[in-house]
Amino acid sequence: MIAGAPASGKGTQCELIKAKYGLVHISAGDLLRAEIATGTDNGKQAKEFMEKGQLVPDEIVVNMVKGRLLQPDAQEKGWLLDGYPRSYSQAMALETLGIRPDIFILLDVPDELLVERVVGRRLDPETGKIYHLKYSPPENEEIASRLTQRFDDTEEKVKLRLQTHYQNIESLVSIYEDVIVKVNGNTTVEGVFGEIEKLLTSSLDKKTEMVGS
C-alpha cells in the first residue's frame, strides 16, 4: 500500500514501482470510475450515491477493491494499492477479508512544499499538459497566456485537503503500525524511489525466506 498527501509525488512513484516490480497498480478512484463506466452492480450503486452528491459507502468500495485484488493477475504478480484505505472502517473491512499489505509506504513531504507544489500548478487546456510556474514553466508566452488553474488548487483548499489527509493517516496507524514506513518525499524523484526500492527489496526477500522455510 502507498499513501501520500496531494502533490507528494505518489502518482510518479506508483508508476516507477509498477515498472520495476511488475505489481498490479490498483487505484480506488480509477476502479470506481471504471466500474461506473462498465455498469457493474457495484458501479450502478456507486453512481446513484454520487449523483445525489453523497459519498460512496465503504461497503461498495471495499467490494470493488476486494474483487480486483482477487483477480488472477493481482494474486500472481502482487498488488500496489494506491490511496486506499482512507479510514479506520475501510482498513478494518479489508482486515476482515484477510487483505493486509506486506508494507505500507507513507510519503512524507513538508506542508509548505506541498502547498507550493499545488498552488503553482497550471494546466494547458489545449494539450492537457501540466506545468508548474516555478519547477516546470511553460516553453513560451503563447502557452503561458492560455494556462488555467484548477479551482481547488488554492492555498486555502490545499490546507483543508492536507488536514483531511493527516486525519485519515492517523486513523490507520493503529492497524498498520507494524508495516507502516515513512519515506522522505522531499528529495528528487530518483532519491525517493531509491528509498522505496530498498524497502520493497527487503520486504520481498523476507517474504521469499518465509515461503522457503
Tens of pLDDT, residue by residue over 144-161, are 999 999 888 999 999 999
Boundaries of domain holding 53: 2-190
- Residue 211 inside a domain? The answer is no
Domain total of the chain: 1
**Using one digit for the tens of pLDDT, what is the confidence trace for 89-102?**
999 999 998 999 99
Catalytic residue among 68, 117, 121, 122: 121
Q: Is 68 a catalytic residue?
A: no
Using the predicted structure, report yes or no on whether residue 72 has a pLDDT greater than 70: yes
Name which residue leads in pLDDT, 31 or 204. Answer: 31
- Residue 210 inside a domain? The answer is no
Cβ contact 80:18 at 8 Å: yes
Catalytic residue among 47, 157, 159, 161: 161
Alpha-carbon span 13 to 183, nearest angstrom: 11
Q: Is 33 a catalytic residue?
A: no
Q: Is 122 a catalytic residue?
A: no
Kindly state the average pLDDT of the residues 23-45.
Answer: 91
Mean of pLDDT over the chain = 92
- Residue 202 inside a domain? The answer is no
Catalytic residue among 20, 33, 150, 182: 150
Catalytic residue among 68, 86, 117, 122: 86
- Residue 198 inside a domain? The answer is no
Q: Is 10 a catalytic residue?
A: yes
Q: Is 161 a catalytic residue?
A: yes
Catalytic residue among 10, 68, 117, 122: 10
- Residue 28 inside a domain? The answer is yes
pTM for this prediction:
0.85
- Residue 120 inside a domain? The answer is yes
- Residue 77 inside a domain? The answer is yes
Provide the CATH number for the domain around residue 22.
Answer: 3.40.50.300
- Residue 6 inside a domain? The answer is yes
